[in-house]
Copies of this chain bind each other. A is one copy, B any other.
Amino acid sequence: MQRPKLRRRGDGPFPLSPSMVDHSVTSIDHFGFLEDGTFKQRYLVNNEHWDQKGGPILFYTGNEGDITWFCNNTGFMWDVAEDLGAMLVFAEHRYYGESLPFGQDSYSDTKHLNYLTSEQALADFAVLIRELKRKVLGAQESPVIAIGGSYGGMLSAWLRMKYPNVVVGALAASAPIWQFPDMVPCGDFYKIVTQDFARSGLNCDVNIRRSWKAIDNISATDDGLQWLSGEFSLCSPLKKTDLDGFKAWLQETWVNLAMVDYPYEANFLQPLPRWPIQVVCKHLSFDPSSVSDYQLLGGISEAARVYYNYTGNCPCLNTSSTATGNLGFIGWYYQACTEMVMPLCTDGVQDMFEPQDWNFQAFSDECNSLFGVRPRADWAATVYGGLDIASHSNIIFSNGGLDPWSSGGVTRNISDSVVAIVIPDGAHHLDLRYNNEYDPHTVLSARIQEVEYFKLWITQARKLQIPG
Contacts and interface: CB of A to CB of B under 8 A. Distances in A.
Contact of A466 (B120, B164, B382, B387): B387
A114 B33 CA distance: 6
A208 B392 CA distance: 49
Nearest to A384: B165
B383 A164 contact: no
Nearest to A34: B114
- Interface of A, secondary structure class, is loop
Interface in A350-409: 373-374, 376, 378-379, 381-383, 385-394
Residue from A27, A34, A120 whose CB has the most chain B CB atoms within 10 Å? A34
Interface stretch (A49-57, A93-101, A122-130): A122-130
Interface string A446-468: 00000000000000000010100
A34 B111 contact: yes
A33 B374 CA distance: 8
Given A123-B382, A386-B165, A393-B391, A36 B464 contact: no
A130 B115 CA distance: 25
Nearest to A464: B390
B120 A373 contact: no
B34 A110 contact: yes
B382 A166 contact: yes
A30 interface: yes
Contacts of A381: 130
Contact of A33 (B126, B338, B378, B392): B338
Contacts of A165: 382, 385-386, 388-389, 391
Contact of A123 (B111, B123, B383): B383
Interface residues of A, number: 46
A382 B164 contact: no
A117 B31 contact: yes
Contacts of A393: 391
Contacts of A387: 466
A423 B165 CA distance: 28
A18 interface: no
Contact of A110 (B33, B113, B163, B389): B33
A386 B165 CA distance: 8
Interface in A1-58: 27, 29-34, 36
A381 B126 CA distance: 10
A209 interface: no
18 contacts: A29-B32, A31-B31, A31-B32, A33-B114, A34-B110, A34-B113, A34-B373, A36-B373, A123-B382, A123-B383, A130-B381, A164-B391, A164-B392, A165-B382, A165-B388, A165-B389, A165-B391, A166-B382
Closest 10 CB pairs of A and B: A165-B385, A164-B391, A34-B114, A33-B373, A165-B388, A31-B31, A32-B114, A33-B338, A126-B382, A31-B119
Given A31-B119, A390-B464, 9 more contacts: A27-B376, A30-B379, A32-B32, A32-B117, A33-B114, A33-B373, A33-B376, A123-B382, A163-B383
